[in-house]
Amino acid sequence: MFIPPQHLKKQVHPASNDDGSKIRLKASHLLVDHEIASEAFGEEHNIYVIYYPDRRSLLIAPVSDEIFKKLHKAAQQMVKDRNLKGDKSVALHEILIDNQIDQSDRDLEYEWQPALGILNVKL
């Protein structure tokens, strides 16, 4: 069977470029660049996460921040190592489904607040 080259080009999708934002949503996981992860999470393997639908804002803090948990009634999530560079990933399936958030792979806007120790991600 012959497939015209111009038709084939339309069907082929280029590999995703990981050089975009330092925080991305991919396959319902939050991917965090090693630079941001080391500042925001340190050596912690668990974090507190809460999503505020009215602001479309996901707030993240290390599990050592007990005040964050009490103020925001946050849930605990596990942080997984993604590669040897130190990039991290966090599963967001439940938050995305419960709040009917677009699950498509994309770069995300974020704000790192070092004085508060909070990573604010816009979903």
Q: Mean pLDDT, to the nearest integer, of 73-77?
A: 92
Q: What is the pLDDT of residue 4?
A: 60
Q: What is the pLDDT of residues 31-40, one digit of tens each?
A: 999 999 999 9
Judged against a pLDDT cut of 70, whether residue 101 lies above it is answered with yes
Q: Mean pLDDT, to the nearest integer, of 60-81?
A: 92
With a pLDDT cut of 90, the percent of the chain lying above it is: 71
Q: How many angstroms separate the CA atoms of 21 and 23, rounded?
A: 5
Sheet (strand 80-81) strand order: 80-81, 88-91, 29-32, 23-26, 106-107
Q: What is the pLDDT of residues 6-51, one digit of tens each?
A: 554 444 433 334 456 899 999 999 999 999 999 999 889 999 999 9
Residues 33/85, Cβ–Cβ less than 8 Å: no
E strands, the chain, in order: 23-26, 29-32, 46-52, 57-62, 75-78, 80-81, 88-91, 106-107, 110-113, 118-122
Q: What is the pLDDT of residue 1?
A: 55
Instruction: Please provide the average confidence, as pLDDT, over all residues in the chain.
Output: 86
Only one residue has tokens 């500042």, namely 39
Q: What is the pLDDT of residue 15?
A: 34
